[in-house]
Chains A and B, each alone.
Chain A
């Protein structure tokens, strides 16, 4: 689980005279814990003879047959509360010494106890407890997390949280258009439920290679036979279903926040932690783009991404990748529970809610959105479908 090693004795690190001058015995015993990096802590301790004598008098049985031990206790923060659980012990030496300690996890709380561990019974007598530290986080956070935005104007008292909905309302509508494909897919879903035969009639493109889709919509169809250009069929379906404009517009509440990424020139420098050498910019803007240590092309590859040779020939646009994030938001009455898939969506006191999803692969995404009324009341379900596809200029 862990490994530890003693470091050079600190007594060798600076001249004896100055060390004596710097010693302030009034703080004893001392146990100090510091974070070095996400997986290493530094502990230093000092126990002075007076303290030893006091411990010897108080705990004679342990003192005479024990091992000086550093106990490292791990914990987590849960809603602002610190909770500690597992620990491990390190036999150490010297009443004034320091150690580097490798710990199992980053982004965790730790504190140490310096004590005497009975060789006979294992009983642990604590001499000193350290400060609590937290190892730095060294991973990119999960994308499926609710997004919060804040407005800060003037003095801090005007800080206010705003929802993704409000933020999206500020976006120019033309910048994040609702795609025709989304609309079509939505109707296909409705048809499959209500008019299976009609739906089968207009089924197309499932499993078809990217690029054929555009051709199917173009004047010179290269589609396999049986796939029908669909606008007329959809119009007909819409009429038959009696779908009205508001339902069309309901789709507009599904907004893509992110789409594609170019680039290769995101380069690590020496100061970046090694874990960042593989940081992928696309994790933020879409699909991964490796940080490179030279001007070389991205070494990134992902099975469902098609690389464009044309793009690769460019200095900057070394590879083409894309991805999508989706924000679902809405408003309900307080007390209504909202679920997206298996995830419970926090509902604000005013009934508003928002949830962000990362749709990492192309193809069709079914997103089940459920609203459960209080006290086991009615459940309403909404299943928007998101369709992603690849379109490259060469196809």
Chain B
């Protein structure tokens, strides 16, 4: 039976490459550990339960190559276990400390149980390899995993070097193939950053679809007949799926979004900041107060006063919000389906780390939403982009407009007074890489090895995260340091190659640190005739 409407839910999972073997403990590596502990493992648990109970669903997951590289890295896997062990120890201490506290004791126990479960899942169930775990659901046909450019480079601001854009895509696809043993049919463009002409490049790699923010289709030419409620084909034949603003607002909006509900857990109250310094110090980062993940309060309201978190209440809210989400889409689909020659499609992309990390109840909401949809009898059905295109291969041809899902909708988030200095050196480095790729093609193994590492350094410098962090003023010094370090290392390698004097000891040390994409080949930067 044909469904009345389709729901395409995309989770974009990405973290910059934060691996620091040179330090025993690194603050930024906690980004990865928190994401595994609070988002990826809970998400896998949701998927497992759904499959076990025979609930039909379809999800799309974009995994950035930098995240993939970290998830299979033995050093980071080992460090994650250490991170979990310390959390388990802290939770045990909290149970003891709160043994007479009626409200806090159940919460301490809850965290303790959760950390133990996560450790068991990570070590025993998934044997430390979360990519295999996700891949399993792709094999079952429940999950479509797609890639995104190698280091999450923001392509609209890299396009002055076409070889950089090409390398970001080529390296990502090669890595995906290596990890999953198949090709990625679609791609997540970092920050939904698109410019006309990019789709032609995507087509040259055999990619079939990508995602845009609403105005990328609203301003398309000619005017898309169904706005974002059906994908369009670019003139190249690559499909563009537009984000549905209704779906976005329900989850993203800080004011109206579900995660802002007073019953949900308060992200900004953590025992790492709340408890006595001497007590909590062993669980901090080098004596620096940080989030531990143990949080006892609910959002309550906008004031400073916070009530204790009450998990059953929060769970009930997640169920209500899932039902509301389902019903609002179902009801809107009734209107839309009268205007269209096919069932409308709702495209709802979110950052995967929102679920569980930022929005603690996010995985529960997702679980309830999927079950609501599955039980709807077809009034709303989940679908992946590939399935949709198989079912509806005829779509309107339009030229989407340049756009992003960042602040103000274009490039300003990544190009403003705080981070503009990144682009001239990135441009120069890319030009130098193109020059070296042509000059040293077919060189000996030592030169190849050096230039392969130069390619990794350039890719790492191009990650959109650094410009984003600098603008957001969160970990500014780290982002500046990373940008400069990768460019310096890149320059040093290039100068050594040009001088014919490669410092192999030093090269080996940076190979150990920046060890992603082991099979990269610098020839990916060779320009073809059209790019010259």
Binding site for B on A (CB under 8 A): 7-8, 10, 13-14, 18-19, 21-24, 26-27, 30, 32, 34-38, 42, 44, 46, 98, 131, 134, 136-143, 145-153, 156, 159, 161-162, 167, 170-171, 175, 257-263, 265-276, 279, 281, 283-286, 291, 294-295, 316-317, 325
Contacts and interface: CB of A to CB of B under 8 A. Distances in A.
Interface stretch (B98-106, B120-128, B215-223, B364-372): B215-223
B225 A284 contact: yes
B274 interface: no
A137 B220 CA distance: 8
A156 B203 contact: yes
B420 A159 contact: no
B237 A150 contact: yes
A269 B328 CA distance: 18
B421 A10 contact: yes
Per CB-CB distance, the 10 closest pairs between chain A and chain B, nearest first, are A273-B409, A136-B402, A145-B222, A284-B227, A37-B410, A148-B397, A13-B421, A137-B401, A141-B223, A22-B425
A321 B339 CA distance: 13
Interface string B191-211: 000011000000100101000
Contacts of B221: 137, 141, 145
A149 B431 contact: no
Given A14-B484, A30-B428, A34-B415, A268 B245 contact: yes
B407 A270 contact: yes
A273 B249 contact: no
Contacts of B93: none
B237 A149 contact: no
B491 interface: yes
A273 B421 contact: no
A152 to B, nearest CB: 5
A266 B246 contact: yes
Interface string B489-515: 001000000000000000000000000
Nearest to A283: B223
A18 B396 contact: no
B420 A316 contact: no
Given A35-B156, A269-B253, A149 B425 contact: no
A261 B339 contact: yes
Contact of B394 (A7, A38, A151, A261): A151
A36 B47 CA distance: 40
B252 A37 contact: no
Contact of B245 (A7, A44, A98, A291): A291
Nearest to A259: B339
A38 B335 CA distance: 33
A352 B83 CA distance: 67
Contacts of A271: 213, 404-409
A260 B339 contact: yes
Contact of A37 (B389, B411, B431): B411
B280 interface: no
A258 B160 contact: no
B218 A279 contact: yes
A266 B245 contact: yes
B409 A267 contact: no
A108 to B, nearest CB: 12
B314 interface: no
B395 interface: yes
B12 to A, nearest CB: 14
A276 B393 contact: no
B491 A139 contact: no
B223 A263 contact: no
A10 B218 CA distance: 35
Given A267-B246, A272-B214, A274-B408, 5 more contacts: A42-B423, A262-B335, A267-B253, A284-B218, A285-B339
B469 to A, nearest CB: 14
A37 B246 contact: no
Nearest to B341: A171
A126 B404 CA distance: 34
A161 B397 CA distance: 9
B16 interface: no
B420 A98 contact: yes
Query: Which of B156, B214, B431: most chain A Cβ within 10 A?
Result: B214
B484 A21 contact: yes
7 contacts: A10-B420, A32-B423, A34-B423, A150-B397, A271-B406, A272-B215, A284-B225
B39 interface: no
Given A30-B424, A136-B401, A271-B409, A36 B218 contact: no
B245 A269 contact: yes
Given A24-B428, A149-B396, A284 B245 contact: no
Interface string B458-472: 000000000000000
A307 to B, nearest CB: 17
A27 B431 contact: yes
Contact of B415 (A42, A137, A316): A42
B224 interface: yes
Contact of A142 (B206, B223, B226): B223
Contacts of B396: 147-150
B424 A32 contact: yes
Contacts of A23: 425
A139 to B, nearest CB: 6
B88 interface: no
Contacts of B425: 22-24
A23 to B, nearest CB: 8
A34 B160 contact: yes
Contacts of A259: 338-339
Query: Which of B196, B253, B395, B420: most chain A Cβ within 10 A?
Result: B420
Contacts of B397: 148-150, 161
B376 interface: no
Query: Which of A162, A263, A269, A284: most chain B Cβ within 10 A?
Result: A269
Contacts of B225: 147, 257-258, 284, 325
B223 A145 contact: yes
Nearest to B403: A136
B389 A141 contact: no
Interface in B412-428: 412, 415-418, 420-421, 423-425, 427-428
Contacts of A170: 341, 394
B407 A267 contact: no
Interface string B344-355: 000000000000
A146 B215 CA distance: 21
A35 B423 CA distance: 12
Contacts of B31: none
A24 B432 contact: yes
A63 to B, nearest CB: 24
